[in-house]
Amino acid sequence: MSKKTVIGKIGPSVLNSDLANLHDESLRLLDCGADYLHLDVMDGHFVPNITFGHPVVKCLRTKIKDAFFETHMMVSNPLQWIEPMSSAGVDQYTFHVEPIEDIPYACRKVREAGMKVGLAIKPATPVEILESYVDLADTVLIMTVEPGFGGQKFMDDMMPKVRWLRNNYPSLDIEVDGGVGLNTIQNCAEAGANMIVSGTAVIAAENPSKVIATMREIVNSEITKKNIF
């Protein structure tokens, strides 16, 4: 993993938006200041729900040329979708390590396909399992709810995982996903998270621009305090 500048980034989860108007909703979020779009892909096996796959992502990319797309692959066979998602225009392919036998191989295939590598773990998975693989990744995603459903309560007991990562890998992009909003962003930022996935708190806000800007400001303030550059 190369040395890089750590900055606060807010990536709304489009899953919480009006999926019948996915293009318009995505543009709205970007216009409100989103740094990237977090696209939740669920297969009905790794998690109970089904969302959308590479054809939808490809259609979205044809309409939105420049935004950074991260797909969060909540799927049983992440290797199966690397090439289709690359062809669809995905920038970062974040997959769960739990169903993968050969994590270095999966990371290599993602990078060979021209995408950044994200490694995700569920709440029950110990963060130390990633120790051998962090250097292969651009981002580590700590789930702060059980994957598969929106609107769950934030799990504050996941913050020690974030702290462990920040202490051991100061320049790593650390992402949190699940129940993150104005009431929980401070905990995430203090623990060391700099990439913030937020669904309902942004989508349903009266002023999404203000919510995004406030969360980014809180994260960057903590980055400055910790001298993470």
Q: Kindly list the catalytic residues.
A: 40, 177
From CA 13, how far away is CA 69, in angstroms rounded?
11
Contact 90, 71 (CB under 8 A): yes
From CA 228, how far away is CA 109, in angstroms rounded?
30
From the CB of residue 135, how many other CB atoms can be counted at a distance below 10 Å? 12
What is the 3-class SS of 74-133, one letter each residue? ECCCHHHHHHHHHHCCCCEEEEECCCCCCHHHHHHHHHHCCCEEEEEECCCCCHHHHCCC
Token pair, residue 221, equals: 């303030």
Q: Which amino acid is at 115?
A: M
Pairing of strands 195-198, 9-12: parallel
